[in-house]
Structure 1
Amino acid sequence: MVIDSSSMEPAEEEAQLGQESEDEYSELSDSELQEAFAKGLLKPGMNVLVDKSKKFVNNVDGMKQCLADLRKNLPWVERLDLTNLPTEDILSKVEGKVPALANGEVNADDDFQREMFFYRQAQATVLEALPLLNKHGIATKRPDDYFAEMAKSDQQMQKIRKKLISKQMSLEKSEKAKKLREQRKFGKKVQVEVIQKRQKEKKAMMSAVKKYQKGMTDKLDFLDGDQKTGKDSSDGSKKAMNKKGPNAKRKYKDKKFGFGGKKSGKKWNTKESFNDVSGFRAKVAHAKGGKKGKGGKQNKRPGKSVRKKMKSRS
């Protein structure tokens, strides 16, 4: 098909040339297009350069008009909006300090002061809102059968609960391990002290034995060992018992055998005791005074042959 350019109008001819150039450059890559743009081969209209900065318009009248359109003459029950200043800082009043709000010195960078400001502002809002809600008959307490859709699902809350429990268990395990380490350190310390004490006692005993072997001393107190300390510890209780006085058994033994003094040789015979036969009993001395059965006769066991005969008879 041959197109005669002489018969075409100027507008049609320009559109056709633009279309041909667009088809030509549409097949080029990005780098080739950038080179063509740098050389000035691309026609204006294909790429738009924006050098002008954005102009901001503060249309106060328009914003007021929009605000008036948004506002609606609705009752407070439908709006539920309150604007309150924070309640009085009772703690500062009791301590005699000037509240920061009164001086206008609320520091936004102070987290504690800022959060306390919000907290007291919420208190003031609640104190004003509760009477209004009760006046309009709006319930402020949740009934027992109240059902609300939670922001987070039960699965998500279970995950959070498991994570918190695992974190708490890990903390408990770390604390338990810390206590065990401290107990081990303390136990090891006590064990070392006990070993050192035993070594010291052994060394003292060996030196005492050597002194005794060499004849430097004749005391054998080192052989008592722990028994001596046990006796010393029990002396206090014995002394406490002795303060009350000896019991009846002790008094009887003291009266019979004496108390203190020399005890060896007390049962030796003398001339007077040898000649004194008033307490002699022949039956007791010759074992003739045994127990008797019925009728005063002695119950003697029959001999072996007699026992065999008696067994065969039965």
Structure 2
Amino acid sequence: MEQPLEALRPVLQPYGVEPYFVESFGKISKVFSNKGTLAVKKLSPQNGVDFVRNIQTLFQRGYNRIVPIYPTLDGRYAVWNEGSLFYVMPWLINQDREDRFEKHQKLFRELARLHTLSSQDVKIDKEERESHYELLTTRWEKEQQFLDEYIDTCERVTYMSPFQYHYCMYYKDASQALKFSRKMLDEWYEETKDLEKVRTVITHGKVSSEHFLYDDRGMGYFHNFEQSKVASPFHDLLPFLSRTLKTYPKYYEECVEWLTTYFHHFAVRNEERQLFMSYLAYPSSVIAVVEKYFHTPKHKRNERKSLKKLQRHYWLLKNTEYVVMRLDEMERQKKEAEEASSS
């Protein structure tokens, strides 16, 4: 088997780099070389074109809080070798100087700057928006109908299973979340049905504190842009929140503060806020767990695992509910203050 050092020589040669020693960490390698300590990352060819284009666009628009991507001697940002793409960066020490809360505050402030500098309005077909709205409302109505019918089924059973018993306790919260999502979606559609443009940004693709590194001066930089794309800014926020809130029940006030920091630095339009709240509140994971249990034959069900999964996703629902209600309350207070000042 070829040693990491020899395998990387063809990759580093276009950079004029002579490697001395290599440490491998999965897809990333730490290279000690004649040009300092470098990080070499493997990139799938499928993501390569978007990755290079998005990085170049961000640099051109003045966003420099990205771990620098070094160009080759002839100006390329990635090198093709043995069926994969590779790119080269400096190896950051990444010494945390703040606690978890402060680090996330910086992350969301930088994410807002990234989205602001890369934002642009693009034309959208009205029929496309209408089709998306009708598709979503039809699906959500069917899911609401399923929840309603399954609660009736459970309540008619003489001896409920543990899963059914807990579903009956969770039904009201799931149903209310679904109705709130539908309300926000309807408001979004009413606000946007005559608009001809929608705002897009370059999204990071996998926002995480693990992908926000510090240099020796304590400056934070994003890295791992392999899944970046041009999309709604909430393609970054929603997956992050889903992962963060998937824990034991708690009042996640710090999440509210992180989002407040983001919204302070990235001016969200009213229709964007409505759609974000709709997607955030939607209890998709609870519905998916219940549907899977319902469609699994009784003799193939694992009651304990199914119940445990239902409970975990119910906790996610309740943690998300707190964040949604706090954001909704803050928006309501903001509007009341604006109305009071204008009267």
TM-score range, shorter chain: under 0.3
Per chain length, whose mean CA-contact separation is higher, i.e. which structure has more relative contact order (CA < 8 Å, sep 6+)? 2
* Alignment TM-score, normalising by the size of structure 1: 0.19
Which structure's CA Rg is the greater one?
1
* Alignment TM-score, normalising by the size of structure 2: 0.18
